Structure 1
Amino acid sequence: MSQTRISCIIPAYNEGARIGAVLQAVAGHPMIDEVLVIDDASRDNTAEVAAQFATGANGVTLIRQPQNGGKTKALATGFAAMRGTHVLLLDADLIGLTAADVTALIAPVMAGEADMTISLRGNSPWPWR
């Protein structure tokens, strides 16, 4: 049986003001093997902020799209580039995300208790639709 490897894919478009906090939570996280930030041709400093985290030792890689293709294309780029056996999808604007939140999402899958996990954050005016 092969070893489980977690790839975290973060599609980003004009999230320079927020992506740094998300990367703080996942860069170097002990349960994540690689973090792929897919910059979808942002017009702000998203790529520059992500590049500050892409130092090699923490598993963060920045992939820049030459033109904006939308979230689905950014995710497809991430899926094509990932090396993991499992994927963690995170938005670049998850305000308040912590390493503990990330662990809570990954741990049940790693323990064989769940095939997938979904997080619903309390920052929506509609807790359920």
Structure 2
Amino acid sequence: MTNTSSATVLSVVIPALNEATRIERTLDRLVVQDAIDEIIVVDNGSEDDTRRVVSDYSLAHPKVALVEESTRGIPAARKTGFDKAQGDLLARTDADTLVEPDWGEVIRDHLTEHPDTAAVTGITTYHDSPVGFFLKFGYYLQDRRGKLGGPVGNMHGPNMAIRRSAWLAVREDATTRADVAEDLDLALCLTKRGLRIDQLKNMRAQTSARRRRTNPRDWWRFQLTGLRTITEQGYQVLPFHRAVIVGAWLTHTVQWPIYRFWDFDRRRFTLRPAPPRIAPTGD
């Protein structure tokens, strides 16, 4: 597939907070894709060298731009990025995520060929997990049961895209609070307006599993942001929703001892447990 539509610009927005050691790998995957016309990194108040790293990178890669958002949290950073972007199509990923080489083409082609689709989300696995095969196997089982692909009611932040027209339609409804699940919040905004979200099995990305180092108590608090998001958007929290977060928490708790002794930089186990990670509500 090649980029045959010069009128349709695909912008990618990357919220970033203290990602100086990781973001270049993410950008390397994006800048080489002809289907991607613009990459906007939104620095969210980094205290490391993230701004310098991105600024230096942009000198060699003009499609990369750096903007700043002082209000902490992905919702505010994403909103700033989407507002600054020039694209008719607005994609989002994380600063520690590695997208597949055809990621931009998959997004552009699907939204071009399916004008009734407002947004897309994909399949996200881990690139640095010692037990990432469990997640891949889970996706395999879902696919075998016909549970992957097609219309869905949620999106995954590191692997999603939305039409600009759809963003403008829900922009005022989408929250900028840091204590909600921003991807679920955006999906609920779209759903309330009857706008379609498609899950694409060939829209692939690999994110970091380092959030799995969050201790179970803080992870439970993070899981509760999903219920808060549902309530804030005017929906009723159902027993199904509670069952989902309990299941997600139990899965995390079982794996947490493994990640405590996993060195993400060296990709090997260590005898000394790493310090717990803060729950991922704002990065």
Greater mean deviation of Cα atoms: 20-29 or 7-16: 20-29
Secondary structure of the structure 1 residue equivalent to 2:40: strand
Pairwise CA RMSD of aligned residues? 2.6
CA distance in 1, matches of 2:85, 2:61: 17
Secondary structure of the structure 1 residue equivalent to 2:41: strand
Match for residue 107 of structure 1 among 106, 109, 120: 109
CA contact (8 A) 1:108 1:114 kept: no
Match for residue 76 of structure 1 among 74, 79, 82: 79
CA distance in 1, matches of 2:28, 2:82: 22
Greater mean deviation of Cα atoms: 106-115 or 71-80: 106-115
Q: Render the CA deviation track for 1:25-61: whole Å, top value 9, x for unaligned.
A: 1124211111100010101111122112212753110
CA contact (8 A) 2:16 2:43 kept: yes
CA contact (8 A) 2:36 2:104 kept: no
1:36 is aligned to 40
Which blocks of at least 5 consecutive residues in structure 1 are unaligned? none
For the pair 1:90 / 2:93, whether they are aligned, the reply is yes
Secondary structure of the structure 2 residue equivalent to 1:55: helix
Q: How many residues align?
A: 126
For the pair 1:16 / 2:20, whether they are aligned, the reply is yes
CA contact (8 A) 2:23 2:96 kept: yes
For the pair 1:53 / 2:51, whether they are aligned, the reply is no
Task: Go from structure 1 to structure 2 and tell me whether the alpha carbon gap of 1:58 and 1:25 turns closer, same or farther (over 3 Å shift).
Answer: farther
1:112 Cα offset (Å): 3.6
In structure 2, give the amino acid aligned to 1:8. V
Task: Go from structure 1 to structure 2 and tell me whether the alpha carbon gap of 1:48 and 1:114 turns closer, same or farther (over 3 Å shift).
Answer: farther
Secondary structure of the structure 1 residue equivalent to 2:91: strand
TM-score, L = length of structure 1: 0.80
CA distance in 2, matches of 1:34, 1:13: 20
In structure 2, give the amino acid aligned to 1:10. I
2:8 is aligned to 4
Structure with the bigger percentage of helix: 2
Task: Go from structure 1 to structure 2 and tell me whether the alpha carbon gap of 1:72 and 1:52 turns closer, same or farther (over 3 Å shift).
Answer: same
TM-score, L = length of structure 2: 0.40
Greater mean deviation of Cα atoms: 80-89 or 27-36: 27-36
